[in-house]
Protein backbone atom coordinates (compact mmCIF):
# COMPACT_ATOMS: atom_id res chain seq x y z
CA UNK A 1 0.00 0.00 0.00
CA UNK A 2 2.87 2.42 -0.61
CA UNK A 3 1.83 5.92 -1.69
CA UNK A 4 -1.71 4.99 -0.80
CA UNK A 5 -4.08 7.17 1.13
CA UNK A 6 -6.75 5.85 3.45
CA UNK A 7 -10.24 7.25 3.88
CA UNK A 8 -12.44 6.49 6.86
CA UNK A 9 -16.18 6.90 7.38
CA UNK A 10 -17.80 5.83 10.62
CA UNK A 11 -21.57 5.70 10.39
CA UNK A 12 -24.48 4.17 12.26
CA UNK A 13 -26.04 1.12 10.66
CA UNK A 14 -24.94 -1.44 8.11
CA UNK A 15 -27.35 -0.18 5.45
CA UNK A 16 -26.03 3.37 5.77
CA UNK A 17 -22.45 2.04 5.64
CA UNK A 18 -23.11 0.08 2.46
CA UNK A 19 -24.75 3.16 0.96
CA UNK A 20 -21.72 5.29 1.89
CA UNK A 21 -19.34 2.69 0.43
CA UNK A 22 -21.34 2.58 -2.79
CA UNK A 23 -21.15 6.36 -3.07
CA UNK A 24 -17.40 6.33 -2.39
CA UNK A 25 -16.64 3.65 -4.97
CA UNK A 26 -18.81 5.29 -7.62
CA UNK A 27 -17.41 8.76 -6.96
CA UNK A 28 -13.76 8.03 -7.65
CA UNK A 29 -11.21 5.28 -8.10
CA UNK A 30 -11.13 4.00 -4.53
CA UNK A 31 -11.53 0.46 -3.31
CA UNK A 32 -12.59 -1.09 -0.04
CA UNK A 33 -9.62 -1.82 2.22
CA UNK A 34 -11.65 -3.21 5.14
CA UNK A 35 -14.62 -2.56 7.36
CA UNK A 36 -15.40 -3.05 11.03
CA UNK A 37 -18.75 -3.50 12.74
CA UNK A 38 -19.12 -2.62 16.40
CA UNK A 39 -22.07 -2.70 18.78
CA UNK A 40 -23.78 -5.42 16.76
CA UNK A 41 -23.53 -3.48 13.52
CA UNK A 42 -24.94 -0.29 14.94
CA UNK A 43 -21.61 1.44 14.32
CA UNK A 44 -19.70 0.64 11.15
CA UNK A 45 -16.33 1.92 10.00
CA UNK A 46 -15.57 1.75 6.28
CA UNK A 47 -11.93 2.10 5.15
CA UNK A 48 -11.15 2.80 1.51
CA UNK A 49 -7.80 3.17 -0.22
CA UNK A 50 -6.53 5.00 -3.29
CA UNK A 51 -4.65 8.14 -4.24
CA UNK A 52 -5.14 11.14 -1.97
CA UNK A 53 -7.34 13.14 -4.36
CA UNK A 54 -9.67 10.20 -5.03
CA UNK A 55 -9.91 9.26 -1.37
CA UNK A 56 -10.63 12.84 -0.31
CA UNK A 57 -13.31 13.25 -2.97
CA UNK A 58 -14.88 9.90 -2.06
CA UNK A 59 -15.03 10.62 1.68
CA UNK A 60 -16.39 14.15 1.26
CA UNK A 61 -19.04 13.07 -1.24
CA UNK A 62 -20.18 10.15 0.91
CA UNK A 63 -20.29 12.38 3.99
CA UNK A 64 -22.60 14.82 2.24
CA UNK A 65 -24.78 12.38 0.27
CA UNK A 66 -25.10 9.25 2.42
CA UNK A 67 -28.51 8.37 3.85
CA UNK A 68 -27.18 9.17 7.33
CA UNK A 69 -24.70 11.73 8.54
CA UNK A 70 -21.38 10.06 9.47
CA UNK A 71 -20.34 9.99 13.11
CA UNK A 72 -16.76 10.66 11.99
CA UNK A 73 -14.72 10.87 8.80
CA UNK A 74 -11.08 11.29 7.93
CA UNK A 75 -8.40 10.99 5.29
CA UNK A 76 -4.81 9.96 5.96
CA UNK A 77 -2.42 10.75 3.13
CA UNK A 78 0.67 8.55 3.11
CA UNK A 79 -0.18 6.71 6.35
CA UNK A 80 2.52 5.56 8.75
CA UNK A 81 3.50 1.87 8.53
CA UNK A 82 1.79 1.16 11.89
CA UNK A 83 -1.51 2.48 10.51
CA UNK A 84 -1.09 0.27 7.45
CA UNK A 85 -0.37 -2.69 9.74
CA UNK A 86 -3.57 -2.00 11.67
CA UNK A 87 -5.66 -1.77 8.49
CA UNK A 88 -4.04 -4.92 7.09
CA UNK A 89 -4.82 -6.77 10.34
CA UNK A 90 -8.45 -5.74 10.08
CA UNK A 91 -8.52 -6.74 6.41
CA UNK A 92 -7.03 -10.14 7.18
CA UNK A 93 -9.78 -10.82 9.74
CA UNK A 94 -12.34 -9.73 7.16
CA UNK A 95 -10.84 -12.06 4.53
CA UNK A 96 -10.67 -14.96 7.03
CA UNK A 97 -14.42 -14.64 7.60
CA UNK A 98 -15.01 -14.80 3.86
CA UNK A 99 -13.05 -18.04 3.56
CA UNK A 100 -14.70 -19.86 6.48
CA UNK A 101 -17.36 -22.50 5.73
CA UNK A 102 -20.64 -20.68 5.35
CA UNK A 103 -18.77 -17.42 4.75
CA UNK A 104 -18.93 -15.29 1.65
CA UNK A 105 -17.67 -16.86 -1.53
CA UNK A 106 -17.13 -15.32 -4.96
CA UNK A 107 -20.54 -16.42 -6.24
CA UNK A 108 -22.33 -15.04 -3.18
CA UNK A 109 -20.49 -11.73 -3.50
CA UNK A 110 -21.40 -11.51 -7.20
CA UNK A 111 -25.05 -12.26 -6.42
CA UNK A 112 -25.19 -9.44 -3.89
CB 40 within 8 A of CB 4: no
Instruction: For residues 100-109, give the mean pLDDT.
Output: 48
What pLDDT, on the 0 to 100 scale, is given for residue 110?
A: 39
CA 85 to chain CA mean position, Å: 15
pLDDT in tens, 49-65: 999 999 999 999 999 99
pLDDT in tens, 12-46: 999 999 999 999 999 988 999 999 888 776 899 99
Instruction: For residues 68-79, give the mean pLDDT.
Output: 95
Amino acid sequence: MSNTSLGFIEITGVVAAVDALDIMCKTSGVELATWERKLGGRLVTIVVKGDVASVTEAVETAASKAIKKPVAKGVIANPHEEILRLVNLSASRFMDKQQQPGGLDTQTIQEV
